[in-house]
């Protein structure tokens, strides 16, 4: 294994960690209706957990309404059950053909709670980046100890690794700043 391979593997892992955080952020309610609030929900469809977006059309006619139109109307009770079980805090209403979710505006206290949740998620993202860095650094040190790479390459690799971590932490900070702004917006 070369320094380049270690760095490339690490960057791939960092990319995935950042993408996972973006997915988690998209599930945080901001007071504005968005299909991402519900499309990742798992619905019990004839005994098989299935993503809501695979069972229905989800659209947002205005900023405070999500409309879910299942292709099979018999699944409406299961969709409602999943929505009620989720931590969205929204009660679904249906007319037999579509489910409507009215997204109420968030209170100031709830917005601040969500900001804290988002900060915690971002810190977890940073921790996972640091863990990836530590593991890669251990691999580089082992390679140098086993005389596979020279000491200079190890130090160069560790420097490059730190630059990667800094780049992805900056991305996380930028995502956090944007999400925080989105939550606090009225």
The CATH number given to whatever domain includes residue 171 is 1.10.132.20
Compute the average pLDDT of residues 49-62: 90
Residues 145 and 165 in one domain: yes
Domain boundary among 48, 76, 102: 102
Domain boundary among 56, 78, 102: 102
Residues 98 and 112 in one domain: no
Question: Look-up: residue for tokens 């988002």?
Answer: 118
Q: What CA–CA distance (Å, rounded) separates 142 from 165?
A: 20
Residues 97 and 112 in one domain: no
Residues 12 and 66 in one domain: no
- Which residues sit opposite 48 in a β-bridge? 45
Residues 14 and 50 in one domain: no
* H or E element that contains 61: strand 56-62
Q: What CA–CA distance (Å, rounded) separates 157 from 159?
A: 5
- Distance set, CA 79 to CA 26, 84, 86, 112 (Å): 20, 9, 11, 29
Residue 90's pLDDT is: 82
Question: Look-up: residue for tokens 């596979």?
Answer: 148
Compute the average pLDDT of residues 123-139: 95
Residues 59 and 22 in one domain: no
> For residue 178, what are its two tokens?
């944007």
Residues 21 and 111 in one domain: yes
Domain boundary among 81, 102, 123: 102
pLDDT at 10 exceeding the cut of 90: yes
pLDDT at 41 exceeding the cut of 90: no
In 95-161, beta strands by DSSP E = 99-102
Cβ-contact 46, 37 below 8 angstroms: no
> For residue 104, what are its two tokens?
């109420």
Range of the domain at 140: 3-26+107-184
Cβ-contact 51, 42 below 8 angstroms: yes
Residues 150 and 163 in one domain: yes
Residues 157 and 114 in one domain: yes
Residues 145 and 120 in one domain: yes
Residue 13's pLDDT is: 95
- Enter the pTM of the model: 0.69
pLDDT at 186 exceeding the cut of 70: no
Q: What CA–CA distance (Å, rounded) separates 35 from 68?
A: 9
Residues 9 and 40 in one domain: no
> For residue 117, what are its two tokens?
């949740």
- pLDDT tens across 59-90, in order? 999 888 999 999 999 999 999 988 888 767 78
Domain containing residue 49: CATH number: 3.30.1360.40
Residues 116 and 70 in one domain: no
Total domain count for the chain? 2
């Amino acid at each position: 294994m070369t320094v380049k391979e270690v760095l490339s593997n690490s960057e791939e892992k960092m990319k995935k960690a950042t993408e996972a955080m973006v997915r988690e952020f998209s599930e945080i309610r901001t007071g504005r209706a968005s299909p991402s609030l519900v499309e990742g929900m798992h619905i019990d469809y004839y005994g098989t957990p299935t993503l809501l977006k695979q069972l229905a059309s989800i659209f947002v006619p205005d900023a405070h309404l999500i409309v879910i139109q299942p292709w099979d109307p018999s699944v409406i009770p299961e969709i409602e059950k999943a929505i009620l079980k989720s931590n969205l805090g929204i009660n679904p209403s249906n007319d037999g053909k579509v489910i409507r979710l009215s997204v109420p505006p968030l209170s100031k206290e709830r917005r601040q709670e969500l900001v804290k949740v988002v900060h915690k998620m971002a810190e977890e993202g940073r921790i996972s980046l640091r863990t990836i860095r530590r593991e890669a650094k251990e691999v580089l040190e082992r390679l140098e100890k086993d005389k596979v790479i020279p000491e200079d390459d190890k130090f160069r690799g560790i420097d490059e690794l730190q630059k990667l971590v800094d780049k992805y932490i900056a991305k996380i900070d930028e995502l956090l700043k944007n999400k925080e702004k989105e939550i606090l917006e009225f």
